[in-house]
Amino acid sequence: MLIRFAKPSDVKPSEITPRSVYLDRRAFLRTAAVAGAGAMLPLIPGGAQAGEKLSDVAKTPYGQDETLTSMMSVTSYNNFYEFGPDKRDPSRHAGDFKPKPWSVKVDGLCAKPGEVAFDDLISPHKLEERIYRLRCVEAWSMVIPWVGIPLGDVIKRFEPLGDAKFVAFETVMRPDEMIGQQRPLLNWPYVEGLRMDEAMNPLTILGIGMYGEVMPNQNGAPVRLVVPWKYGFKSIKSIVRISFVADQPRATWNEQAPHEYGFYSNVNPDRDHPRWSQRRERRIGELLKRDTLPFNGYAEEVAQLYAGMDLINKDF
């Protein structure tokens, strides 16, 4: 997201300026340089749980042909507004966040609602490693080896009812530990949503780690969504609530600037953002830009979910 704030109260999408784009590019170049020198630096700056290894993770074929983005870049140049609007803020400010103990409330239109401890949410499932591309709406991208479990398998355990057409997600609200939440940067708590068939699609996972380790705080500990064919902001972090609902739920960036960020937000090189092209992207750590692929390269798996929809003007 390119919103920069002169004052904490100035939260208007219209304030995005060419200067901020320029500053972001400079931040990118710094990151690329840092990534090159990554071996000399601590791996997860600020991450409270840095380095805790995950065991029993099954390898999968997903993304085996991809070149991974360095862990240093993924954990130190990212968006997590709860820790501040700058891409360096999450790694700077996430160190005091406490992802344990954790529980997730599951409610709404399902036969088995309840408050579930993190371990009970995850442990019935086999952990998988999946290498996915993450395409940010700001036209940069990363390749990340996520560790997680299919969201669809989790959803089934709660037995959603027939009229549950969407799944809504909510991030934890902890202004004492998340300094970004002390300011009205966004309409807290961060919320997101998927249509039920998107949530059930085999590509969609609940991520609990990356690079074989537990999820760093700044990347959404302890549990977040990963939806690889959508712009990064759909992949909501630090989830405390999952609700089955009949109508399209609220989504933070869609609410903030509906003409810029649609509810679906499928990666689409044919639909420019109102203020910049989405045709090309810069993979963090690389100098040359590359073409952005429809559905971020996952069209074969998901394009059929949107058959007959107007993905340019209406359902973007």
Q: Which residues bind ligand MTE (CB under 6 A)?
A: 1, 78-82, 134, 136, 171, 190, 219, 232-233, 235-238
Query: Least distance from C-beta 6 to ligand MTE, angstroms?
Result: 19
Torsion sign across C-alpha atoms 210, 236, 25, 182: negative
Residue type, 150: P
- Whether the CB-CB separation of 79 and 232 falls below 8 Å is answered with yes
Q: Which is nearer to ligand MTE, 122 or 241 (CB)?
A: 241
Q: Which is nearer to ligand MTE, 109 or 227 (CB)?
A: 227
Query: Least distance from C-beta 93 to ligand MTE, angstroms?
Result: 12
Q: What helix, strand, coil percent values describe the chain, rounded to 5?
A: 25, 25, 50
Preceding amide of 101 cis, omega within 30 = yes
H/E stretch holding 299 reads helix 299-302
- Reduced to 3 states (helix: H, G, I; strand: E, B; else coil), residue 218 is helix
Q: Which is nearer to ligand MTE, 222 or 232 (CB)?
A: 232
Query: Least distance from C-beta 162 to ligand MTE, angstroms?
Result: 30
CA distances, 271 to each of 139, 141, 314 (Å): 13, 17, 11
| Alpha carbon of residue 314 to chain centroid | 23
Nearest CA among 195, 3, 171, 147 for reference residue 84: 3
Query: Least distance from C-beta 206 to ligand MTE, angstroms?
Result: 13
Q: Which is nearer to ligand MTE, 160 or 298 (CB)?
A: 298
- Whether the CB-CB separation of 177 and 96 falls below 8 Å is answered with yes
Query: Least distance from C-beta 230 to ligand MTE, angstroms?
Result: 10
Query: Least distance from C-beta 304 to ligand MTE, angstroms?
Result: 25
Comparing every residue's Cβ against ligand MTE, the nearest one is 232
Q: Which is nearer to ligand MTE, 166 or 233 (CB)?
A: 233
In whole angstroms, give the CA distance from residue 267 to residue 22.
23
Query: Least distance from C-beta 56 to ligand MTE, angstroms?
Result: 23
Residue 219: φ, ψ to 5°: -105, 10
Q: Which is nearer to ligand MTE, 1 or 116 (CB)?
A: 1
CA distances, 73 to each of 31, 105, 216, 302 (Å): 6, 32, 13, 28
Alpha helices in 8-123 (DSSP H): 18-36, 71-76, 89-93, 118-122
- Whether the CB-CB separation of 159 and 110 falls below 8 Å is answered with yes
Query: Least distance from C-beta 1 to ligand MTE, angstroms?
Result: 5
Q: Which is nearer to ligand MTE, 28 or 80 (CB)?
A: 80
